[in-house]
Chains A and B, each alone.
Chain A
Amino acid sequence: MGEPALVCKDVKKTFGSIKALRSASFTLEKGQVVGLVGENGAGKSTLLKILAGVYQADSAESIKLLGKDYSPHNAIDALQRGIVTIHQDINLVEGMTVAENIFLNNEPTGRLGVLTAGSLNAKAQELLDHYGIEVDASQQVSRLPNDLKKMVQIIKAMTWKPTILLMDEPTSSLTATEVDVVLRLIAELSRRGVAIVFVSHYLSEVFRICDTITILRDGQTIANLQKESTSITEVVQHMLGRKLVEVDARSKRGAVASNDVLLSVRELSVSGMLHDVSFDLHRGEILGFTGLTGSGLTELAKTLFGVEGYQPSKGTIAIRGDVKSRWNPGKAIQEGVALLTGDRLREGILPDFTIAENVGLPIIGKLRNALGLLSRSKIDAMGTRCVRELNVKAPSAHVPIRTLSGGNQQKVLIAKWLETRPQIFILDDPTVGIDVGSKDEIRKIIERIASEGVGVIIISTEMPDIEKLCDRAIVMFRGSIVGEFAGAQLEHNRILETSVSGRKAA
């Protein structure tokens, strides 16, 4: 096999007093795929960022790239040595077109060194078509749904012709078909000799494409395992340092949902996005919405929450029987509606605000002391409670939220909306980036609030979320409802088939 593509030995990195990496080691052979797994905050992204030149390691026994010492000073350094990274957060320029983004800083120069927009678009389109991604290269990135942005980010990485590819949760928020595209792409690259690091919380994917699995816990490499000689259970046990309490696939909560209608939507249409959507949400019900890209799921969530730019052109939204007009997020929150948005970076966190301040934002007006001023103690108490209850890995609730790992930021956002004590809780892609252990905790929280009478809407393209958690699932296709499943019917093959075909399976 020759010398390995990349060897890391005993890499250490601290941020202030936080030890993000205590001792991380792994070896990557040419043409191999290493799965890098671990809990939220274990240090996966930090390790990749060091290899990508974003951060510098505090110390390392050695990092060798093809046998030579490797310590990139910046991202360009890393790129020039053939190490290309797909970061956990989508880092495209929103105001630019897909084509401009794909070739940003890497313009394929024409014969005269100049390139027309037309030929740039054509080249980008060629790439997109090659991978079967239905996106118009001349479109602005800001108009794309999350999953397509992620796909564009992945295509962009391809144009750098990596010899080593680092992928930080590339498949989160993708639909099943897109995941297939990415996994096939990985297989194809590794066949061509590209060495790949694949970070993911989806262990089934890890087991499908990786040759070896490296497990990080608290910044330390716990084990390097060959895929053939291990199992998901063993990996999870290493990740958590304990056995995961077995949750059976359907710990159905019995029929908790009542007949009280909390939310009633009739013939709701938003031009170009939604067509005649009608459904009811009951007290205590967990209702799933799923579908492919462009099926209008995120748009439906935003319309229900009254977000600017999503005004219904037709139809009604009624809450506890009252039809709402001139609806906006402020009013929605007052009426007990909460929306966890799918785009954590752009629509979720305020990076420089502390954890506590992020959590308090929707109810900031209520956090006052006797003088009518902002009550630090109330904010602090709330922040601290959230950190504890959701097991957020952070030194305190007073650190800026940007210093948290991706999964931990997501937990804070869930806490933020739980603090508004919602009656109707809409969650768009709630478990994105969240580790296996925490996923179950979050599912338990959702089940608990539902049993307390909250109506929950879960928007997800992840079948396990829909299958395990929901009482009922609605499938959307191009902005319309095309199928509804409940009870024994609620089963992922049927749902998938309907999602793809746009017709309810017989």
Chain B
Amino acid sequence: MSTYTLEAGRSNLQESIRRSYGLIQSVAVLLVLVVVMSIVSPRFASVINIQNLMAQMSAALIVAAGMTIVMINGEFDISVGAVLALTASIAGKLMPEIGITATFALALVVGPLFGRFAGVVVTRFGIPSFITTLGTMMIARSLAFVTTQGQVVSNVPEAFRILGLGRPLGIPMPFIIAILTILAGYVLLNHTAFGKKVYAIGANRNVAALSGINVDRIKIICLMICGLCASFAGMVLLARIGSIQADTARGLEFEVIAGVVIGGVSLSGGQGNILRVIIGVVVIALIRNFLNLARIDIFWQDFATGSIILAAVLLDALQKRIAGSR
């Protein structure tokens, strides 16, 4: 018995090292990336550029919090970009009329409504979430165009814009909000019963159901949370830019999914660490920024990002295979 406790101490340490191995690795990749970029492009490391970067990636980070929860649960939500745009469009229109608070309250209902609708379709009729949210994506995008009538919506009250333009300690407010959102996601996933259920369903929905977990309910809630994040990101974006167009954030869903996957969340669900997702999203944003600074032809930019995503996913699969055969 006594030898066991001794060994247990050591193996716990090893286990935690093994577990954070992925995290250490991604931090390393990030650092290398930053160093290389600052050497290649001196403008990269400037304070202004870093601040811009932080502000720019905040919407993706907020959305990634929700996406991580949905993907750990074993589903996808590709309607996030469209829901973001719809929310911001509605808010942009309403705010001058009904004021900031009321608009906020209404806007934050948009995403959860879409999430709930998709969730019910997914659970009740067994339609894959990828397809279901493709449908809701198109609906949301169309409604955004209807709302704005294809015009740019501006005249957002100045008081509201503090949310997007404030810079406490030089850090852009949207970035702070984004990090807080991720931290909230962290607490939810790792320190609540709900979070454990999310992981359990993603790992094996049969086992979860047989343990008395209401699988459908949790799935619907996950999609609602993701919708909430999308709407929230829309509000933060509106505050930062001060205006909105219906086709804002097109393709955001894939950028976010890519970040989440690079952040180590399993495509099949059940595994992943939301803190590591931050790094995934940052990596994608850095690469985009770098391609801009290096004046790479815009038409080639997606090619580069796509290749990097593929490389990351392949590397992950390779590591899993090696670990599995050991």
In the bound complex, residues from chain A placing their C-beta under 8 Å from that of B204 are 346, 350
Residue of A nearest to B266 (CB): A352
Q: Is the CB of A353 within 8 A of B203?
A: yes
Q: Is the CB of B192 within 8 A of A373?
A: yes
In the bound complex, residues from chain B placing their C-beta under 8 Å from that of A350 are 200, 203-204, 207-208, 270
Chain A nearest CB from B290 CB (Å) reads 35
Residue of B nearest to A379 (CB): B196
Chain B nearest CB from A92 CB (Å) reads 16
Scan B199-217; emit 1 where CB is below 8 A from any A CB, else 0.
Answer: 1100110111111111000
Given A347-B206, A398-B15, is A352 in contact with B271 using a C-beta cutoff of 8 Å?
A: yes
Q: Is the CB of A395 within 8 A of B212?
A: no
Given A74-B325, A350-B207, is A330 in contact with B8 using a C-beta cutoff of 8 Å?
A: no
In Å, the complex CA distance between A55 and B324 comes to: 10
In the bound complex, residues from chain B placing their C-beta under 8 Å from that of A349 are 207
Q: Is the CB of B193 within 8 A of A374?
A: yes
Q: Is the CB of A346 within 8 A of B206?
A: yes
The answer to the question of B141 belonging to the interface, with a C-beta cut-off of 8 Å to chain A, is no
In the bound complex, residues from chain B placing their C-beta under 8 Å from that of A55 are 326
Residue of B nearest to A350 (CB): B203
Given A17-B7, A367-B193, A399-B15, is A373 in contact with B207 using a C-beta cutoff of 8 Å?
A: no
In the bound complex, residues from chain B placing their C-beta under 8 Å from that of A132 are none
The B contact surface, by secondary structure, is helix
Q: How many residues of B contact A (CB 8 A)?
A: 33
In the bound complex, residues from chain A placing their C-beta under 8 Å from that of B207 are 346-350, 361
Q: Is the CB of A17 within 8 A of B10?
A: yes
Scan A280-308; emit 1 where CB is below 8 A from any B CB, else 0.
Answer: 00000000000000000000000001011
In Å, the complex CA distance between A372 and B187 comes to: 12
In Å, the complex CA distance between A66 and B75 comes to: 51
The answer to the question of B124 belonging to the interface, with a C-beta cut-off of 8 Å to chain A, is no
Given A374-B195, A374-B196, is A18 in contact with B7 using a C-beta cutoff of 8 Å?
A: yes
In the bound complex, residues from chain A placing their C-beta under 8 Å from that of B196 are 357, 360-361, 364, 374
- Contact with A329, one of B200, B209, B271 (Cβ below 8 angstroms): B209
Scan A33-66; emit 1 where CB is below 8 A from any B CB, else 0.
Answer: 0000000000000000000001100000000000
The answer to the question of A254 belonging to the interface, with a C-beta cut-off of 8 Å to chain B, is no
Residue of A nearest to B325 (CB): A74
Given A347-B206, A367-B193, is A329 in contact with B211 using a C-beta cutoff of 8 Å?
A: yes
Residue of B nearest to A333 (CB): B212
The answer to the question of B151 belonging to the interface, with a C-beta cut-off of 8 Å to chain A, is no
Q: Is the CB of B187 within 8 A of A373?
A: yes
Q: Is the CB of B210 within 8 A of A341?
A: yes
Given A357-B196, A367-B193, A395-B8, is A330 in contact with B213 using a C-beta cutoff of 8 Å?
A: yes
Given A329-B211, A330-B213, A339-B210, is A395 in contact with B4 using a C-beta cutoff of 8 Å?
A: yes
Given A350-B204, A362-B212, is A398 in contact with B12 using a C-beta cutoff of 8 Å?
A: yes
Scan A342-370; emit 1 where CB is below 8 A from any B CB, else 0.
Answer: 00001111111100010011101101100
Residue of A nearest to B205 (CB): A308
In the bound complex, residues from chain B placing their C-beta under 8 Å from that of A307 are 209-210
Residue of B nearest to A372 (CB): B192
Q: Is the CB of A308 within 8 A of B11?
A: no
Q: What is the count of residue pairs linking A and B with beta-carbon distances less than 8 angstroms?
A: 90
In the bound complex, residues from chain B placing their C-beta under 8 Å from that of A333 are 211-212
In the bound complex, residues from chain A placing their C-beta under 8 Å from that of B12 are 396, 398
Contact residues of B between 262 and 318, Cβ < 8 Å to A: 270-271
Chain A nearest CB from B199 CB (Å) reads 8
In the bound complex, residues from chain B placing their C-beta under 8 Å from that of A357 are 196
Chain B nearest CB from A26 CB (Å) reads 24
Q: Is the CB of A374 within 8 A of B191?
A: yes
Residue of B nearest to A341 (CB): B210
In the bound complex, residues from chain B placing their C-beta under 8 Å from that of A332 are 212
In Å, the complex CA distance between A18 and B14 comes to: 12
Chain B nearest CB from A426 CB (Å) reads 12
In the bound complex, residues from chain B placing their C-beta under 8 Å from that of A373 are 187, 191-192
Residue of A nearest to B16 (CB): A398
Scan A92-104; emit 1 where CB is below 8 A from any B CB, else 0.
Answer: 0000000000000
The answer to the question of B197 belonging to the interface, with a C-beta cut-off of 8 Å to chain A, is yes
Residue of A nearest to B19 (CB): A400
Q: Is the CB of B7 within 8 A of A365?
A: no
Chain B nearest CB from A422 CB (Å) reads 12
In the bound complex, residues from chain A placing their C-beta under 8 Å from that of B270 are 350, 352
Contact residues of B between 193 and 252, Cβ < 8 Å to A: 193, 195-197, 199-200, 203-204, 206-214
Q: Is the CB of A16 within 8 A of B11?
A: yes
Among the interface residues A16, A54, A349, which one has the most CB atoms of the partner chain B within 10 A? A16
Given A352-B270, A373-B191, A374-B195, is A362 in contact with B8 using a C-beta cutoff of 8 Å?
A: no
Among the interface residues A334, A347, A362, A395, which one has the most CB atoms of the partner chain B within 10 A? A395
In Å, the complex CA distance between A368 and B193 comes to: 8
In Å, the complex CA distance between A329 and B205 comes to: 13
In Å, the complex CA distance between A373 and B192 comes to: 5
Residue of A nearest to B191 (CB): A373
In the bound complex, residues from chain A placing their C-beta under 8 Å from that of B187 are 373
In Å, the complex CA distance between A286 and B270 comes to: 37
Q: Is the CB of A364 within 8 A of B197?
A: yes
Q: Is the CB of A16 within 8 A of B14?
A: yes
In the bound complex, residues from chain A placing their C-beta under 8 Å from that of B210 are 305, 307, 329, 339, 341, 347
In Å, the complex CA distance between A349 and B207 comes to: 7
Chain A nearest CB from B325 CB (Å) reads 7
Q: Is the CB of A395 within 8 A of B206?
A: no
In the bound complex, residues from chain B placing their C-beta under 8 Å from that of A352 are 203, 270-271
Given A341-B210, A364-B193, A374-B195, is A395 in contact with B200 using a C-beta cutoff of 8 Å?
A: no
Instruction: Enumerate 18 A-B pairs (CB-CB under 8 Å) in ascending A order.
Output: A16-B15, A18-B11, A305-B210, A329-B210, A330-B212, A330-B214, A346-B204, A350-B203, A350-B208, A357-B196, A360-B196, A362-B211, A374-B190, A374-B193, A395-B11, A398-B15, A399-B11, A416-B211
Q: What 10 pairs between A and B have smallest CB-CB spacing?
A: A333-B212, A361-B211, A330-B212, A395-B8, A396-B8, A17-B7, A364-B193, A17-B11, A362-B211, A373-B191
Using CB atoms and an 8 Å cutoff, list the residues of chain B in contact with chain A.
4, 7-8, 10-12, 14-15, 187, 190-193, 195-197, 199-200, 203-204, 206-214, 270-271, 325-326
